[in-house]
Chain A
Amino acid sequence: MKIKHIILVSFLTFGLLSFTTLTDSTKYKCMIQMTNYTGEAAYVVISLINPDGEYEKTLYVQGDDSEWYHDITDWWKFYGKKRSNIDAITGATIAGGARTISVIDIEDSKINAGYSIRFETAVEDQEYYTKDVEFPLTSETVKSKKAGSGFIRYVRMMPN
């Protein structure tokens, strides 16, 4: 009886382990080019959005002072509840006119599957854009250039 249990548990564990190792993912470079706006440097959050339009995962956060995260209003409603550790995917804010390359990791199963990538921006004293840039993740768009509608001039995405 006991042994059976152990076997069952180890099957389960192995199953889970192999499952996680089997989820292939690809690293992408995202070059974010800001407009040459005047004011403080921008917070930019990159998120994976599921087919229902909801936040699934935080991919990168440009801006390392968590005191201001609540200003990225919609993302905060998702992230603020759990506040998972994002140290490994956190960089500096991006100034007007500047560009940054964030390397992000996306599971291959999310490409061509109705998922989108969202770039959300907020600047002190100024506007907040939930969808500064947002586009569906397809094998075409992951190597393309997309124009922004707020503080972002464009985003260039390419496999790393």
Chain B
Amino acid sequence: MKIKSIISALILVLSLQSYAQDNVFLNRDFWSNKPSVEDVDIQIKAGHDITQANSNNFDAVVYAILQEAPNETIQYIQSYNGNDVNKLTHDGRTYIFWAAYKGNTEIMQYLLKKGAKTDITDDKGNTILNFAAGSGQTNTKVYDMCLAHGANLKSDLTPSGANALLLAAPFDTDFKLINYFTSKGLDIQSVDANGNGVFNYVAKTGNVEMLNQLLKKGVTGNNQAFIFAAYGTRSHTNNLDFYTYLEGIGLNSNTSSKEGKTPLHILAARSKDLDLIRYFIKKGVDVNQADADGNTAFLNAAYRNNLEVITILNKQVKDINTVNKKGESALALALKNNTYVVVDFLIKNKAEVSVIDANGNNIIAYAMDSFNANNQKEFQQKIALIKANGIDISKPQANGNTLFHLAVLQNNLDLVKWVNTYPVNVNAKNSEGNTALHLAAMRAKNSDILKYLVSIGAKTDAVTEFDETAFDLASENEILKSSKSNLDFLK
């Protein structure tokens, strides 16, 4: 009897958990299948949450709009409490941004009637109209509606000073959008705050036919076209042929942007096309040039590219220990975000293991950032390598943070448990006067890490420089409060 009820309780708990993880409404395919209002109701009754958002802040209504669910269904789910017409979703966009992006004017109309704000911008600084233009929306009724609701083509610019004409141009294949925006008063010779015009913007998509037509109309580009070509778009990267084309019309590939970024800065961060990388090196682009943040093409590659690209760039590197403005070296960046083989390569090429960044963190803090509970092998390999190179990992950072502090900041119990295999004082205070238990009390999402720290000897009576105990801090923690966690073990 008892066992049965335990089992059923377990099943209940497990199934509830799987609901949270597998909310059918956060599955794009559900919406692609054109669900009716009734289909949605069945899933709501089955316990799926129609108002939940995923970790990227996409929710059911956004996915329904993006996957072109029936408009009746979109309206129905938007009317639920918790899906307010001005709810902020991914990148700070409300539903009307997504409707405009998809060219769904019927839903735009519906949202406007329900009071959708039109004077807002998203996290990237786009108005609704500019967001739609920047995705190349060809349904110009979207723009008409925005203009009727207060949009201003001349004054509504992105943070880099681009207007809708420049934003839409890369996606235009037949001058439909360019002609639309010029008919509304924008100049085909418009430039952004850095002097980039339509030609440079179209270089993003590498549409040679359009570029040739623009040249015939007297719309020319400049060397910055190479920067735009290197950025490409979400779905398009340019190949060597296109860069050769730009060179052929008299542009110079050895160029950099106002922020000091060269085409290599951009490609080093995202392209695995070795021919391209070699092309720019051959043209004289300097791998060692620092941009406004102090990053070089090599630092960008160390952070997120593969060993082949890093090896090619490394041959041009003057000093492998160059750091950016934050004091991060190629090794620190690779430890944080790249693979063990890249880290190993850098150390073998004389990357300094004793480097300290501008905040007083050594490379262990960077390695801790890369901990992944599902792939601990890479992490263990990195740590072993650091130790083999003479770094004492149980020693605190210059700012007083111990491995326990760093692990708690990751909010990861597995990592905290791993730290406990080293001789580290769990009660050490950092330079701000906080113990690991204090930090955990402030930032914990549940009481697991707190309980574990207490179980291995963390003192509950230690106080911060403001005289607060871990109990005081945990009692203020909104998440622990709302889950009504019992915090008596901290008293």
Q: Which of B306-350 contact A (CB under 8 A)?
A: 326
Asked if B123 is at the interface of the complex by the 8 Å CB criterion, the answer is yes
Sort chain B's interface into a size bin.
20 to 34
Distance in Å: Cβ of B178 to nearest Cβ of chain A: 26
Q: Does B159 contact A (CB under 8 A)?
A: yes
Smallest CB gap from A127: residue in B: B88
| CB <8 Å contact, A156 and B466 | yes
Whether A153 is near chain B, meaning CB under 8 Å from some CB there, is yes
User: B442's contact among A64, A70, A99, by CB below 8 Å, is which?
Assistant: A99
| Neighbouring B residues of A37 by C-beta, 8 Å | 478
Nearest B-chain residue to A37, judged by Cβ: B478
Of B43-51, B89-97, B282-290, the segment with at least 4 beta carbons within 8 Å of chain A is B89-97
For B359, the chain A residues whose CB sits under 8 A away are: 92
Question: Is the C-beta of B34 less than 8 angstroms from some C-beta in chain A?
Answer: no
Select from chain B the residue with minimum beta-carbon distance to A35: B478
Query: Are B125's CB and A124's CB within 8 A?
Result: no
Question: A98 touching B432 by the CB < 8 A rule?
Answer: no
CB B83 to nearest CB in A, in angstroms, measures 16
Closest to B90 in A: A125
A39 nearest in chain B by CB position: B57
Q: Is the CB of B326 within 8 A of A124?
A: no
Is there an interface contact between A71 and B88, defined as CB atoms closer than 8 Å? no
State whether the Cβ of B412 lies closer than 8 Å to any Cβ in chain A.
Answer: no
Contact, CB under 8 Å: B466 / A125: no
Within the complex, the shortest CB–CB distance from A152 to chain B, in Å, comes to 12
B57, B91, B409 pick with most chain A CB within 10 angstroms: B57
Do B88 and A125 touch across chains, with their CB atoms under 8 A apart?
A: yes
A73 — nearest CB in chain B belongs to which residue?
B121
Q: Which of A71, A95, A98 touches B92 (beta carbons < 8 Å)?
A: A71
A31 at the interface (CB under 8 A from B): yes
Interface: B476 (CB within 8 A)? yes
Q: Do B478 and A124 have beta carbons less than 8 Å apart?
A: no
Q: Quick one: closest B residue to A125, CB to CB? A: B57
A residues near B57, Cβ cutoff 8 Å: 39, 125-126
Interface string of A34-46 (1 = CB under 8 A from B): 0111110000000
Cβ-closest chain B residue relative to A126:
B88
Contact string, A66-105, partner B, CB cutoff 8 A, digits 1/0? 0010110100000000000000000010011111010000
The verdict on B479 contacting chain A, using a C-beta distance below 8 Å, is yes
Within the complex, the shortest CB–CB distance from A73 to chain B, in Å, comes to: 8
Contacts of B409 in A (CB 8 A): 95
Looking across the interface, which residue of chain A has its beta carbon closest to that of B57?
A125
Chain B CB within 10 A, most for which of A92, A99, A125, A127: A125
Q: Is the CB of B92 within 8 A of A126?
A: yes
> Which residues of the partner chain B approach A126 to less than 8 Å between Cβ atoms?
57, 88, 92
A152 to B122, CA, bound (A): 22
Which of A33, A36, A39, A70 is most buried by chain B, counting CB atoms within 10 A of its CB?
A: A36
Min CB distance A126 to B, Å, is 6
Given contacts A37-B478, A70-B125, A31 and B466 within 8 Å (CB-CB): yes
A97 pairs with B92, CB closer than 8 A: no
What are the residues of chain B within 8 A of A96 when measuring CB–CB? Answer: 443
Enumerate chain B residues within 8 angstroms of A68, measured Cβ to Cβ. Answer: 123
Of A31, A39, A70, A153, most B-chain CB atoms within 10 Å: A70
Contacts of B90 in A (CB 8 A): 125
Task: Give a binary string over B437-459; 1 marks a CB under 8 Å from any A CB, 0 the rest.
Answer: 00100111100000000000000
B159 touches A70 (CB 8 A): yes
Residue from B89, B159, B443 in contact with A125 in the complex, judged by beta carbons closer than 8 Å: B89
Does A153 contact B476, Cβ atoms closer than 8 Å? Answer: yes
B66-110, CB < 8 A from A: 88-92
Which A residues lie within 8 Å of B479 (CB)?
36, 38, 97
CB distance from B260 to the nearest CB of A (A): 13
Bound state CA distance, A68 and B90, in angstroms?
Answer: 15
Given contacts A70-B125, A99-B442, A153-B476, 15 further A-B contacts (CB under 8 A): A33-B476, A35-B478, A36-B480, A71-B123, A73-B121, A95-B409, A95-B443, A97-B442, A98-B439, A98-B443, A125-B57, A126-B57, A126-B92, A127-B88, A153-B478
12 contacts between A and B (CB under 8 A): A31-B466, A36-B478, A37-B478, A39-B57, A73-B121, A101-B432, A124-B91, A125-B57, A125-B88, A125-B90, A126-B92, A153-B476
Please give the residue numbers on chain A whose beta carbons come within 8 Å of chain B beta carbons, in ascending order. 31, 33, 35-39, 64, 68, 70-71, 73, 92, 95-99, 101, 124-128, 153, 156
Chain B positions near chain A (C-beta within 8 angstroms): 56-57, 88-92, 121, 123, 125, 159, 326, 359, 409, 432, 439, 442-445, 466, 476-480
State the 6 A-B residue pairs at the shortest beta-carbon distance, nearest first: A97-B443, A125-B57, A70-B159, A97-B442, A70-B125, A36-B478
